[in-house]
Structure formats: C-alpha cells, structure tokens
Structure 1
Amino acid sequence: MKKSDFNYLLPDALIAQKPLAERDASRLLCMDRNTGEITDRLFTDFIDLIQPDDLLVFNDTKVIPARLFGSKQSGGKVEILIERIVDDHHAIAHVRASKSSKPGTLIKLDEGYCCVVQGRVDDLFELEFADVNLLWLLEKIGHIPLPPYITRADDESDLTRYQTVFAKESGAVAAPTAGLHFDLAMMDKIKAKGTQTAFVTLHVGSGTFQPVRVEELSEHLMHKEYFAVSQATVDAVQQTRARSGRVIAIGTTAVRALESASNSGQLEPGFGDTDLFITPGYQFKSVDAMLTNFHLPESTLLMLVSAFAGYDSIMNAYSHAIDQSYRFFSYGDAMFLSWRIGR
C-alpha cells in the first residue's frame, strides 16, 4: 500500500483544541474486528465492554514539559522541543530558528539559564545543559508540548489534562492519548469488576506527529522511541492467554511496546529503542483488542490501526466518525477495536 491510500479529508472544526470538562465524557466508536460492524457509544460504556478475564495494558510514560523558548546572542528567537533526554545534562532536540544553529551556538533561555548546541543528528540537534539538571530545568521553565494541530498556546490546565492519571515514568514529549480518557473513578471501576491491569512504558516522541513523506511505505524511516516491558507484564499476558481472555492495549503506544517485545515470535521482557513500523499485513503477536483515538491522515498510527482492524473497515469507521462529528486527535474521542464487543 502507498501513503496516499491513508489520506482522508477532515474538517478543521472536528480537531479537538481542548479537553472536555471530564476525562470520561468523550464518545466511543466501537468496531468489531471480525465484521466491521460499528456502534456509537459513550466512553463510560467501556466498563461494560470488558470482562474479568481480560487484561488492560496501559502505557505509564509521563509527559515532560519539553518545550523551551529562548534566543541566540544575536537576538534571534529560538524554540526548542526536547525529543529525547540523553542524561542529566544532554538532550536531542528540534531547534526552530530563523537560521540553522551551528555547533557552539549559545542559546539563552528564560530566567537566565542557557544551553549550547554541540552538533547535529540528522534533523535534530545535540544540546548541552552544563550547569543545571535538565529534568529540573524543564519542570521549572518548560512548557507542555502540545501537538502542532492544537493551535492555541498551552495553559495551566494542560499540565494535568495532557497527562494520564497513571503517568509514572518521565520521558515522553507527547501523551499516550488513549489513556487520557481514564480518570481515577474509572480505574477503580476496572479494579472492582475484577479486570486485570498491567503497564508498559513507551516514551512517545514528537515523531509520532511527523507525516510519512515518501509514497512507498517501505522507504519510510520510522522514528525511534524507548520502550520497556517487564516480566510482570509478560506473566500477566500469558495468564490472560491461558484463561482465554483478551489482551487489550490502551493506545497504539502500548501496542508498539508489546509488539516490539514480541519480536522473537513470543512476548519477552525487555527494553531499548524500537522503530517498529506496523502496516497492513503485519501479524500481531500479543494484542487482541485496542482502545485508541483518531489519528492524522497519512500517519504511521493510522497505518497501525488499519493493520489491526483492516484497511477498509478503518477507513469506513473514520468516514462514519466524520459524518457523526466525532472529535479527532489528542483531546478527541476514542475507538474500541475488538472481537467479543458487548459479549
């Protein structure tokens, strides 16, 4: 398949610019993976669609305030988006300025802090923050890195709403958005129902928003993201399989973590960088069902869900969602892709 096969027209009015007042107030499009049948529900119905023998796998990554603003010594304005923290004083980042920043360039940041450009890594820059702990600095002067399709500036509410209630491991520069629908009350309901939960970590990078720029999918270079899957999660998946329950990934990032750890053919504990690019024809090894948001046209995430639930079915579901005015992207509504829906 080609990139253009995954294009669709979305009215700007359907791109959610802000979260709803309550996390669980979104709508939920349910699609049966076997038949393609679509039903329109509310996210609060999700608790009725899962069973005690199922396993929900969440991504516990935590979004860091990864956007910094500053200026060069010449006075030119600079915007930095941290892509990856290397250690306490070094990072790989996107740097936007009127002219490309050369090695040795000093960038002055807010409140008197600064960093120095050390070099390039493809389209990214190596930065050194010599005199301050980077994570501490981001918490002090950083901004929440809202996606490019959210056209407003970040505000105080984004500090909590662009973060899952179970976020734990700092390192993401974008939220695992399917998890944003869960509040503490929903987590308590899941526990009370007896449905099992497990966690993986995948630090979502800004590359998740980058469009595929080549028409031939085989030529696309996937961005790398750090993932970790523990022995406890592997055991939980195996136990779910043994009782014929469903392994339900909460978000495409949880899918990529589980499938990256299944590279040998079976799920194993592990960690490291993954550049797994899932397109139609991929054979899923560890995931039976998925909760996900609606994804950008021609994006790798749209290709992933098409591989999971079928290209024609997904494109039909997206057409239905547009006709029914679902809210799209990070702060938007959700989809549940599964078999045994409403069993």
Structure 2
Amino acid sequence: MNTNPKHLAIKDFVYELPDERIAKYPLPERDQSKLLLYHNHTIADHTFTSLPDLLPAGSLLVFNNTKVVQARLIFHKPTGGAVEIFCLEPVKPHREVQLAMQHTRSCTWKCLVGNNKRWKEGVLKLFFEGGVVTAERDAQQEGHFLIRFTWTPAELTFAEVLERCGRLPLPPYLNRELTPEDRTRYQTIYARNEGAVAAPTAGLHFTDQVMASLQAKGIESTYLTLHVGAGTFKPVKADTMEDHEMHAEQLMVSKQVVKQLLQHLGQPIIPVGTTSMRSLESLYWLGTLLQQQPGLKPEELHVTQWLPYDISTPPATTEALQTLLGYMELYQVEHLHASTQIIIAPGYTFRICSGLVTNFHQPESTLLLLVSALIGGDWKQVYQHALDNDYRFLSYGDSSLLLP
C-alpha cells in the first residue's frame, strides 16, 4: 500500500554539492566514467565498462531513445540586440511532439524568452543558409510566451529549421558556452526521436562496445521514448511536495515493448535513467486508469502527479499491462502516445522497475526523491561515498547502478 509523499519536506533531500564537483565537460571516452554499484546496502566502485558484468542475470535494460533538439534560437532585432527564444513544447497545430516536429510552414510553441524587455513589438527574424524564420508573440502566459514561428522555404519541417539555425540547450548549471563537441556528446548514441530539450543523461555513458558486451552477456534491451522537458531542471521551491507541480512530459511506447515487458515480469527490468523509470511506471498507471475508465480516448491518456497515491486497490502488474495491450489492439495503434506527470518519491511502490542506472542528481530535486524512493535513506551514504571518492556529478558526470 502506498503512503502519500505529499507531506515530504524537500529540505530533507539536501546535500552539499561544491561547484567543482559538477562535471562541466564530458570525459574523452563515454564509457570510462566511474560506476558506483549499490547492491544490498553495500557500495563498490567500478568503471562503466563493467556494467554488463554487474547487472543481474536475465535483466532487461530499458532505454529512452529521445533526441535533444536544438531548441535555442538567437534572434537579432534590427538595432542589433539579441533575444533568445527557447522552445519548450508545441501548442499548435499539434501538441504531439512527433507530429509538431514534422510540421511545415508555421507552428506555435510554448517558449521562454530571454531579454524579453528588449523585444518591444513586431516580429523578429533569424536568417539561416537558404532561408529565414520569423517569430511573433501570440500571448503571454504564466512564466512563458506562446510564439508563432513562420519560415521559408515553407516545405522545411520544423525539425529541419531547428537543425539549421538552433543551438543545443545545455543544462543551465553547466554555466558555459556550447562547444562543437557538445553536439555529439550531449546525445546518446541511440537517440532517434526528436523532441527533448534535455538529454536522458544516464544513457550518455553507453558506447557500441558496451552495447555489444551486453548482448554477449545475454542482457536484453528495448527502447521507449519520453521527451525530456525543461521541467526536469525545475528546482522544488515548495516546502512540502504537495505544493510542487510536476512538469508533464510526452511518452511514446510501441506494442512490441509492452509485450516484451509482460514476458519479462518476474525477472529484473532495469531502466537506464530516471526518464525511462518514470515512463515504465507510468505504463502501469495508464493500464490501471484504463481498467477504471475503459472509455478513455487516446488523447485523454494522462498520468497525473498523485494518481499512484490516490488509487486504493491497484491491480496486479500483469493485469494493468494486459489492459494497456488490449486497448492498443482495440484502437489499432502500434505506438501508444500519452503524457505523464508522475512523481516517484519515498512511499511509492514500484510496479515494473527493479533497479536503475542513473547519474548523480542535484540537491532538492525530484530526481533525488526518485532515487530515495528506490533505495530509501541509503541515498545519503551513496551520495556521500560519491563525494568522498571523486565522482563527477550531474549531466556530464559519472554513473551508478542501484539495485535495492
């Protein structure tokens, strides 16, 4: 039975992170990062290349294959002043990231605007090789703007426009300019579906050699997509979690993956990264929701923040996933699209995941709550060990394999 984490105080999830421990740049080799193994309350130090040997036999690794888009656009006013527009999520004509990225001619996105005060009126233009994109403000909403983009050549997709004139959005705490190297190193080697504005960083350590080694060890892997939003960096400002609103992110999963999960229940299912974990657990709650409300339309599939804590008698995992599979067959969809605001915090009961590959997260973050939900109060020892043993922190930092 879940206990509700609404009353958790974020001040209990604090540790001292000196600035010099934040990895500002990636290591020369992706898979040479350190790997902290936490297993049965004990901690050991390894290198990431050892991951295939450390995973439990028969594990299924689940990766998030979202691709970071070049979501920062630097426009210049006729007078020369720069205005930065950061695309957060699509609004019109599609809210679905996959569709929005393929749209041509024009679209409207929810955006953050840097130096907005400099932008008194009118449209801004950004010229790129062979074309131009213009931006105009449609509306101002709490903390962001709706920006309408139009471009020529009109047959270009918005994905192509961003690729030609956008910049990669590095995490704000790196506090540095983009380097050419970031274009490849701030993507996983298996990134496919464009739409994230932050990388699923636990996956940055994987190389072709590690993948081959996993296969040789008989470790299965599979992929789903969660488009990571800027909300992943949103600090918790509220004293208790009930006053913190989780960001919503778009999730896409194939029928094949749901079948794979069903076949693998009872054996270790280990997500690579917090985004994969949130996706997997959300699938269970989507199935639960559909059991209760079978008439939901595909566009109504959404896991709210507190749903996992509000349902008094949740079904067995097999039952929930079979309901989800049945729903996909009924609607004849190969890929299920949904959104999730799930918050995984101490008091959460895991339905699908039995471990986690992840980096080291910021103090007072929802990601730290998720780690604590998995390994309990031991997160403090894990983080202290990492600090005492020269581990690198955050997006470009080192890795851990957490097996409660």
TM over 0.5: yes
**Does the aligned pair in 1 maintain the 2:281–2:351 contact within 8 Å?**
yes
Partner residue of 1:325 out of 382, 385, 390: 390
Contact 2:83 2:119 in 1 (8 A): no
* Separation in structure 2 between the aligned mates of residue 81 and residue 212 of structure 1, nearest angstrom: 21
Equivalent residue of 1:80, what SS? strand
Q: Deviations over 1:125-148 (max 9, x none)?
A: 211112243211110011111001
Q: Aligned letter for 1:337?
A: L
Q: How does 1:200-211 map to 2 (within 5 A)?
A: 200-211=224-235
Q: Report whether the alignment pairs 1:60 with 2:65.
A: yes
1:75-119 Cα shifts (integer Å, max 9, x gaps): 5421121111343322211111152868x7422324353211111
Partner of 1:240: 264
Kept in 1: contact 2:52–2:219 (CA 8 A): no
Residue aligning to 1:297 = 363
CA contact (8 A) 2:81 2:118 kept: no
C-alpha contact (below 8 Å) 1:229/1:258 kept by paired residues: no
Q: State the Cα RMSD in Å.
A: 1.8
2:83 and 2:118 in contact (8 A); partners too: no
Contact 1:16-1:330 within 8 A present in 2 as well: yes
Displacement, 1:256? 0.6
Q: CA deviation at 1:120?
A: 2.8
Secondary structure in 1 matching 2:368: helix
Letter in 1 for 2:284: S
1:71 aligns with 2:89: no
Q: What secondary structure is seen at the aligned counterpart in 1 of 2:346? A: coil
Deviates more, 1:117-126 or 1:74-83: 74-83
Once residues 94 and 199 of structure 1 are traced to their aligned partners in structure 2, the CA distance between those partners, rounded to angstroms, is 30
Distance in 2 between residues matched to 1:305 and 1:45, nearest whole Å: 22
Aligned to 1:80: 85
Q: Which has the higher helix share?
A: 2
Deviation at 1:261, TM superposition (A): 1.1
CA distance in 2, matches of 1:219, 1:175: 27
In structure 2, how many angstroms separate the alpha carbons of the residues matched to 1:79 and 1:92?
13
Q: Percent identity?
A: 42
Matched residue SS, 1:99: helix
Most deviating of 255-264 and 50-59: 50-59
Contact 1:91 1:127 in 2 (8 A): yes
2:400 to 317, 320, 335: 335
After superposition, give the CA deviation of every residue in 1:269-319 in whole Å (9 maximum; x if it has no partner).
Answer: 542211111111011111011000001111111111111111x20022111
In the alignment, the residues of structure 2 paired with residue 7 and residue 278 of structure 1 have an alpha-carbon distance, to the nearest angstrom, of 17
User: Could you tell me how far apart the structure 2 residues matched to 1:309 and 1:110 are?
Assistant: 50
Aligned equivalent of 1:155 = 179
TM-score, normalised via structure 1 length: 0.92
Matched AA of 1:9: E
- Is 1:72–1:105's contact at 8 Å kept on the other side of the alignment? no
| Match in the other structure for 1:256 | 278
1:72–1:107 CA contact under 8 A, matched in 2: yes
What pairs with 1:113-132 in structure 2 (closer than 5 Å)?
A: 113-132=133-152
